[in-house]
Structure formats: C-alpha cells, structure tokens
Chains A and B, each alone.
Chain A
Amino acid sequence: MSVLARFVARRCLQALPLLLVVSMLVFLLIHAAPGGPLAIYLANPNVRPADIERLRRALGLDRPLWQQYWTWLWAFAHGDWGYSFSDGRPVAVRIVERLPATLELVAVSLTCALALTMPAGILAAVRRGGWFDRAVAIASGAGVSLPAFWFGLLLQMIFAVGLGWLPSSGRTTPGGGDVVDHVQHLLLPTTVLAIVLASGWSRYLRGSMLETLAQPFIVSVRARGLSASRVVLRHALRNALGPLIALVTVDAALLVSGAVVTESVFAWPGLGSLFTEALARRDYTVLMALLMLSAAAVVAFNVVADFAHALVDPRVPVS
C-alpha cells in the first residue's frame, strides 16, 4: 500500500468516531429545537389531535429519542438515508437532485474568488503601501463588511431590475437553458460569493506574502540574481500559500454543504436552499443527511488541504 493510500485510509478511520460524535450532537440539537415536523399541520384547524397522533406514529416520532437515533444511525450506516418527512421521497434523491446546482455554484465561485485573490493579494504585498495596496484594502474591507443578502439584492436591483441585463434569480430560464442562459443566471450569485470570499482571502494572502518576503531566504534568492517574478511567484508565493490553502478548503467545505444566504436570495436550487426548507419544516431526516454531508465535507477537504499544502511546500510531509 502506498504512502498516499495509507494516509487516506488512516484519515478516514480517524474521521469515523468524529462523525459519530457529530451525528449524536446534531441529532440532539435538531430535536431540541422548538417545533417539529408536525408543527406545520397545527395551523390547519381540520387537522385534529387524532391526526397529529397518527402522523407522529407514522413518522416514528412517538418512540424514545435514543431509539429514533439508533434506527437512523443503523440505516444511515447501511446507506439508507430514509425518507423526507415533508414530501415522502428518499432523502438521497432529494440531495442528489440539488447537489449539481451547488457544486456548479461553488466551483465557479471558488475559481473566480481565487482568480481575484491571487493578483490582489500578491500585488498588494509587493506594492505594500502603494495605491493598489490601499485600493485592495478598501475593497476587501467593504467586501468583508457587506452582508451577502444585501449585496445580492443590490446587484439584482442594478443588473436585473435597473439595466435588465441579467435574470434576477434561478438557475436557468424554465424551458430554456442554453449555455449563455446558464452563464447569465450564474453571474450574480457567483459575483456575490466570489467577492465576499476574495475579500477575506486576499487579506490573508497579502499578510502571508509580506511575512514570507521578509524571510532571510528571500534575500538569499534575490542575491542569486533571480528575476523578481521568479522570487515572488516561485519562492515567496509557494511558502505563503499554506494559510490560504487552509482557509480556502474550510470555506469550500462549508460552501459545498450550501451557500445558504446566497442560494436563498438568488433562488438557487442547491443544497443551501434545501437546508433552509428542511430547517423551516424541521425535516429531521433531510437535516441529518445534510449536516452529516457537511461534516464529511469538512473532513474530506482537510485531507485535500494536507495534500495541497504538501504539494506547494515540499517541507510539509503528507504523513
């Protein structure tokens, strides 16, 4: 077995008890939240106490909590994610149908955010104190401070309502859906996510770059007559990427489980929207699956981060 395979296997084994503890905590937390899957029926005066009791039994909510947890855990461990309490469909089906939208949004947003972060962070560090550095500082400060929902609505008002250039929300035009239509729908939510992410990341990269550029080995490579670009991109940047990689992977893991606010503002049919719906309905089975998916994503992306870190900095061992 290669070093790589052993590393992945070990990390997976280490993750199992963690995921088990997470599942217990999450299960307790969502059941402790006031209201439950039956709360929605209480508003209907035609739903009588006998109906509530019947529905409670049908959903298995009349059993002790530990029994409910054990039943869920056993089934989950065997690949059965159960049925959604709200629409009766398999949870796995509900998640799989929403996953592509989230992956698409996350992939494009992360790419755009990195495309903004790298030049902004590097140039701000190289030109420390200059106009570009100050401009990036102001822009990233604004980006970090802007609430995503407000920023999203602002972009909608300008580009969808005011100028009429872009659709205000959704993933495609119903019944339409060519590539241009797809890109048009992606532009606004992607812009919001990319700018918000890049605002934070660029500050980290700048700081990390400044720290690295002040290291003695940079003086040494400069003294060897290497070009400025080689010094910055090959030597300084590789050493400075460590903190950024950690940050990007954590953000990516959280986004994969759903960019809740952005998806809600732009009616993006991804996991974030599904989470919002499930939370409002206290759809326990869907919530459990999404939260476990989120926890697994954090574990997986941490493994990816370790690899990426080792890739850009050979001093960091994979093991």
Chain B
Amino acid sequence: MRRAPHESLVAAVALGAVAVVAVSSACAKRASAGRPSNDLLIVGYDREPDTLNRFSTHILEDIPSCIVEGLTTTDEQMRVVPLLASEVPTIENGGVRLRDDGGMDVVWKLRPGVQWHDGTPFTSADVRFTVDAINSPDYNPESTDGFDRISSVDTPDALTAVVHYKEIYAPYDIQFIRGALPKHILQGRDIDHAQDYNRNPLGTGPYHVADWKSGEYILLERTAHYWRGDGYPRIRRLLFKFIPNTNTRINQLKNGEVHLVALAPWDKYREIAAIPSIVVARTRGNAYEHVTLNERQFPPFADVRVRRALISALDRERYTQTILDGLAPVADGPVQPVSWAYTDRIARHSFDPGKARALLDEAGWKPGADGIRVHDGKRLAFTLITQAGYAIRESMAQAIERQLRDVGVDVTVELHDGTALSAIWFEGRFDAMLHWWQMPSDPELTTFFASDRTPPAGRNINYFHDDALTRLLYASDRTVDRPQRKALLERAQAIIADAVPEIPLYSVTRLDAVPAALANFKGNPTNTGIFWNVHEWDIK
C-alpha cells in the first residue's frame, strides 16, 4: 500500500520526536553538578584572561594570583603584608634608606626555602631579572610605573635584593606585588611571545595550570611541596569557567554548575542571595562611583558655585538606599574608608535643593522660560555619558538627570560601550561622565587631581586646576614616612571635598557569591583579587 506524502513526513517527525525523548531521558539521568568540595571548586567568570603573565595585564588578576606570588600582597583591609618577602621594608626596620642625593634604597629580604614550581630556588637574581626585563625595550609589560625609577638592583646574597631608586617612590612596598619573572626560564627570550610562560606561568604559588581550554575554562591544580607546608592549599583543584552572559552565570550558580561567582552584579544581589547554598560576601571596595565634571569641555563647571550646586541637588543617600539596595555607602571623596589615608574630617555636601538653587542664582544662572537656567544667553545644559548595559549606572544617570532638572539644569544622558567610553574620556570629548575609578592600593591621588596631569599626562579628566592641591599631592608622593604622608593627604582630601572638582556618589562595595560551606574567605578591596589567601580556603 502506498502512503500519502504527509503520512511519510508525519512518520519522520514522529521518529525525530522519539529520538529527542530518548536523549531527554538520558539527560534526566544526568547527575547534578557536584557540590563544592576540597577536591574541586568551580568559579564562574564573565571573561577570559588574555594572559597569565601578571606583568602583561591588570585584568582578572584572580587566576594568576593563585600561581605567581608577589613579594608583598594586600589583605582584606588593604594592608600591605609580606608574601615572598620575609617582611615589608620600612624606615623603622631599616629596610628603607633615604639617600642624600634625593634617591632611596629598599632592601628586600626574601623568604628562605621558597622554590619555583620546577624546584629551582627563588632568589634575589629573579628580582633583579624582573626589573631589568621590565625596563628593557625588548619587553612590553602593561605598566612600567615605579620600575622606571629604579637605577639598579644589587644582590649581595641569594635572599637579599637592594633596589636603588633614582628618586623617592612612596608606593615602593607594592612594587613587586605582581611577583617576579623566573630568570632561568625567560632570560634571553622574547617575553611578549613566550606563550609557554604567558599561558602557563612558572610561579611559587599554591597552584599551577593543569589545563587551559580557550573560551571554556582554566583548571588549576595544587602544586606539590608548596612553601607553606604540605597542608596547603586545602582545595585540590580550582576550575575557572568563562561565562560572559550574566544571566547564564547566575543560572549556573543556581543549578550548581559553578560554586562561586566573583564580582557578582549588584542588580542580581537579591536573586543570588536567595540561593540557599550561597552567601554573598560584601567587601568594602577601594573604588568610588562619581560624576566627572569636565571644566575644559563645559566651562560653567569651572565655577565652584556651580559644582557645589550640582552636588547639593543630588540626594545621594536616597540613591544608595534605592538604586543600590543599601549595598554601598555614600562617598565624600576619592579616598575610601578602607585606605589608611582616609579621613572623615572633610566638608560633606548634604541634599539641599534650596541651597543648590541659591548657589546657581548667585553664580548668575537664572531660570529661563522653560525652567532651565540661563546665563549670558547660554543654557545650563550638558551631556552626561556613561556605560551602556550597566543597569545600575543607567538608573543612576536617570536619577541625576531628574534631580538636576528640578533645580533648572538640563542633562542629556548618552550611553556608550565600555571601550568607546575609555577613548572618549581619554580625549576629553565629554561634558560629564558617570563612572568609577578603581583606586590604587597606595593612595596616590596625583594622577587624578594634579593640575599638570590632564590627559594624556594623567587622569585629571576634570581638567581641575588648584596649585595648592598639586603641591600637596607631589609632596605626598615624595614622602615615605606614613604619618607625614597621611597628614599631607588629609589636607589634600579637605581641599578636594571643598572644591568639588567632581561629584562623588558612593563607595563601591564588592560582591562575591561564595559557597556557604567555604571557610576562611576574606575578600579583597583591590585589584589583587579575592584569591590572595586561597591557600587557607577550606570547604567544610
């Protein structure tokens, strides 16, 4: 009997359906992803690192920090603590000597008994090689900051490196926070293209790379004979999965395919906090969200009365409670409470729209027919740029636009992708910008506020000029004594708070979704990342 064509087709479709059901049944038997354990911890990341060479990138330091250790690191309170050094050199312990010629010498005593993963001893020769390599024209590290102020390195013995600086360099204690390059592996080689090292660096840390599948994951395994002792690290394998889509990352966290999501997005906080096996760790960050006011591009910002009016018109406390869900406190300046240089003895600008209107009146900006203020025929109207696809920022920009309109200021919000935004601000082609700075762990403010550090010489993209502030900041950079330096920086913070070169909004809190069973997780407010103490992490 001959079948009609549609009968054959229906049969084919039915056969296909049966196949799908069969595969689905197999899937139903799929064991759920394992719980975190001391055998395996799976970490979800939004991007893949370009390289694991810590000197070639600042992006995603979490993974390389498990492999390559610095002479020092920063802890959860942003204190500089020794790692491969036996102590942090200071003037008090004789590790720092100020020379009469204006330079300084720093004596690094290395921890004895430390070996590279291949068993070669870690020595002062590696420290010297690192400085030479970074200052060499043959290698292109991301930053030579600080290294270019080193004139030479002496190595009187295998465990002592004396670093001679041409001038006083206050952040000397974090000079080698990214570790050292292994001389016996890289000497005489093109480090930029030494892919064997850049993708599988030799370190002294608790882990080494076991596998890197591009676009998928990096698997780290515990190294044998870690210098802290055979009990460390406690977790045998760390798997870093790259999942660019935020929703997918959170879905993986929910069904246990990943156990830890670093830098969890704020707008997903409640969703993540509702996962029973997860705890959202909140770490006070060393970054602050603010509105940069570009005085060069929009001259009305050069008037301090206008800047004070703008900050008084914004209810920043309300933003943190609503848009930020109470996750971050209001910031009053560029130095955050986590920094040793922080002071709260500065001017605070509370929400006061009446004061904002009065200040604008005083500056000559009178309400026009449409409610927007006008001065010499020009409207008080500017564009606020910020990053597209960043829900919190988009909401914040809208709130700012609304509240400034209430006092007669017209704001137009423009969204750009992150890469485009970097180019725009570097070229100074914007009126105002909503963004954050991740501040260095050393409280160096010069690059952000000194008069001569406008782009391309620095990041003073407010184009703010204050000679007294500039002198204070440079003096601070040349001061190693901490109490003296703190006093200088406190005076600088007071000037900044009073002059309002930018509008600080909130102090960024870092959110990390970690397994509830994970013990000894401490977090970290700096770019060093949360894995600085991974050796003591323990899944209970």
Residues of chain A touching chain B, judged by Cβ–Cβ distance below 8 Å, are: 33-36, 39-52, 54-55, 58, 83, 86-89, 94, 97-98, 101, 115, 118-119, 122-123, 126-127, 149, 153, 156-157, 159-161, 163-172, 174-175, 180, 183-184, 187, 227-229, 232-233, 264-267, 269-270, 273-274, 276-277, 280-282
Contact of B215 among A42, A52, A228, A274 (CB under 8 A): A274
User: B residues 1-40 with Cβ under 8 Å of A?
Assistant: 2-6, 8-10, 12-13, 16, 23-24, 26-28, 30, 32-33
Alpha-carbon gap, A98 to B216, bound state (A): 10
CA distance in complex: A274, B244 (Å): 11
* Cross-interface CB contact of B23 among A172, A187, A273, cutoff 8 Å: A187
Complex contact A58–B140 (CB within 8 A): yes
Residue B51 lies at the interface, judged by CB distance under 8 Å to chain A: yes
User: Are A52 and B2 in contact, CB atoms less than 8 angstroms apart?
Assistant: no
Q: Which residues of B contact A167 (CB under 8 A)?
A: 30, 33, 257
Contact of A164 (CB < 8 Å), options: B13, B140, B244, B255? B255
Q: A46-B58, A119-B13, A267-B248 are in contact. Are A273 and B215 (CB under 8 A)?
A: yes
Q: Mark B174-208, 1 if CB is under 8 A from A, else 0.
A: 00000000000000000011010010000000000
Q: How far is the CB of A110 from chain B (nearest CB, A)?
A: 15
Q: Contact partner of B252 among A97, A98, A168, A273, CB < 8 A?
A: A168
Interchain Cβ contacts under 8 Å between A and B, 25 examples: A40-B422, A44-B527, A45-B444, A47-B143, A47-B145, A87-B198, A153-B247, A153-B251, A156-B251, A160-B257, A161-B255, A167-B30, A168-B255, A169-B243, A169-B245, A169-B252, A170-B241, A174-B219, A180-B26, A183-B23, A184-B23, A187-B23, A187-B27, A232-B5, A265-B248
Q: Bound complex: CA of A317 vs CA of B425, how far in Å?
A: 58
Contacts of B93 in A (CB 8 A): none
Contact residues in A for B195 (Cβ distance below 8 Å): 88-89
Residue of A nearest to B442 (CB): A46
Would you call A44 and B214 a contact (CB within 8 A)? no
List 12 extra interface pairs beyond A88-B193, A164-B255, CB under 8 A: A47-B143, A50-B148, A89-B195, A115-B12, A119-B12, A161-B254, A161-B255, A166-B30, A167-B30, A174-B219, A174-B241, A269-B213
Q: Which of B145, B248, B440 contacts A169 (CB 8 A)?
A: B248
Closest to A282 in B: B419
Contact B244 A46 (CB under 8 A): no
Minimum Cβ distance to chain A for residue B349 (Å):
25
Q: Are B50 and A87 in contact (CB under 8 A)?
A: yes
**B438 at interface by CB-CB < 8 Å:** yes
Question: Which chain A residues lie closer than 8 Å to B214 at the CB level?
Answer: 94, 97-98, 269
Q: Which of A39, A160, A172, A264 has the most CB of B within 10 A?
A: A39
User: Quick check: is B426 within 8 A (CB to CB) of the other chain?
Assistant: yes
Contact across chains for B422 and A101 when beta carbons are under 8 A apart: no
Does B48 sit at the interface, judged by CB under 8 A? yes
- Bound Cα distance from A101 to B213, whole angstroms: 12
Q: CA separation between A115 and B245, bound complex, in Å?
A: 30
What separation, in Å, do the CA atoms of A226 and B47 have in the docked complex? 60
Query: Once bound together, how far apart are the Cα atoms of A186 and B44, in whole Å?
Result: 20
Q: Is the CB of A34 within 8 A of B16?
A: no
Bound form: Cα–Cα A163–B144 in Å: 52
Pick the residue among A40, A123, A165, A266 that contacts B9 (CB under 8 A). A123
The complex places the Cα of A292 from the Cα of B247 at a distance, in Å, of 31
- Determine the chain B residues whose CB is within 8 A of the CB of A83 once the complex forms: 193
Task: Give the one of B5, B242, B247 with max A CB within 10 A.
Answer: B5
| B54 interfacial by beta-carbon distance below 8 Å | no
Residue of B whose beta carbon sits closest to that of A98: B215
CB distance from B135 to the nearest CB of A (A): 11
Query: A280 to chain B: which residues have CB within 8 Å?
Result: 417-419
User: Contact between B217 and A174 (Cβ–Cβ < 8 Å)?
Assistant: yes
Complex CA gap A64/B471 in Å reads: 39
Q: Which residue of A lies closest to B13 (CB)?
A: A119
| A273/B32 contact (C-beta < 8 A), A171-B216, A187-B23 known | no
> With the chains together, A126 CA to B26 CA distance in Å?
36
Contact B248 A168 (CB under 8 A): yes
Q: Say if the beta carbon of B390 comes within 8 Å of chain A.
A: no
> Are A269 and B140 in contact, CB atoms less than 8 angstroms apart?
no
Q: Is B459 an interface residue, CB under 8 A from the partner?
A: yes
| Distance from A72 Cβ to chain B, minimum over Cβ atoms (Å) | 18
Query: Chain B nearest CB: distance from A61 CB in Å?
Result: 12
Measured CB to CB, the closest approach of chain A to B329, in angstroms, equals 22
Instruction: Output the nearest chain A residue to B51 by Cβ-Cβ distance.
Output: A87
Known contacts A88-B198, A180-B26, A233 near B5 by CB under 8 Å: yes
For A33, the chain B residues whose CB sits under 8 A away are: 420
What is the distance, in angstroms, from A278's C-beta to the closest C-beta of chain B?
11
Assess whether A45 is in contact with B459, with CB atoms less than 8 Å apart: yes
Contact B30 A165 (CB under 8 A): yes
Residues of B within 8 A of A97 (CB): 214-215
Query: Contacts A119-B12, A168-B257 known; A49 to B457 CB distance under 8 Å?
Result: yes
B143:A267 contact, CB within 8 angstroms: no
Q: How far is the CA of A98 from the CA of B215 in the complex (A)?
A: 8
- Contact between A126 and B6 (Cβ–Cβ < 8 Å)? yes
Measured CB to CB, the nearest residue on chain B to A229 is B5
Q: How long is the Cα–Cα vector from A94 to B214 in the complex, in angstroms?
A: 8
Q: Hey, which chain A residues are within 8 Å of B494, CB to CB? A: none
Q: Given the known inter-chain contacts A88-B51, A88-B192, A161-B251, please indicate yes or no for A166 contacting B219, CB distance below 8 A.
A: no
**Which of A35, A163, A269, A277 contacts B422, CB < 8 Å?**
A35
Give complex CA distance A269, B244 in Å.
11
Decide yes or no: A45 and B27 within 8 Å by CB, A170-B216, A264-B244, A274-B215 being known contacts. no
- 6 A-B pairs with least C-beta separation: A269-B215, A35-B419, A39-B422, A34-B420, A229-B5, A119-B9
With A228-B4, A232-B5, A233-B5 already in contact, the answer to whether A184 and B243 are too (CB < 8 A) is no
Given A51-B144, A270-B215: A45 in contact with B24 (beta carbons within 8 A)? no
Residues of A within 8 A of B255 (CB): 160-161, 164, 168
User: Scoring B residues 416 to 448 as 1 if CB is less than 8 Å from chain A, else 0, what string do you get?
Assistant: 111111111110000000000111100010011
Contact between chains at A49 and B143 (CB < 8 Å):
no
Which listed residue (B144, B215, B422) contacts A43, Cβ 8 A?
A: B422
Q: Mark B437-471, 1 if CB is under 8 A from A, else 0.
A: 11110001001100000011111000000000000
Report A-chain residues with C-beta under 8 Å of the C-beta of B419: 34-36, 39-40, 280-282
B244–A276 touching, CB < 8 Å: yes
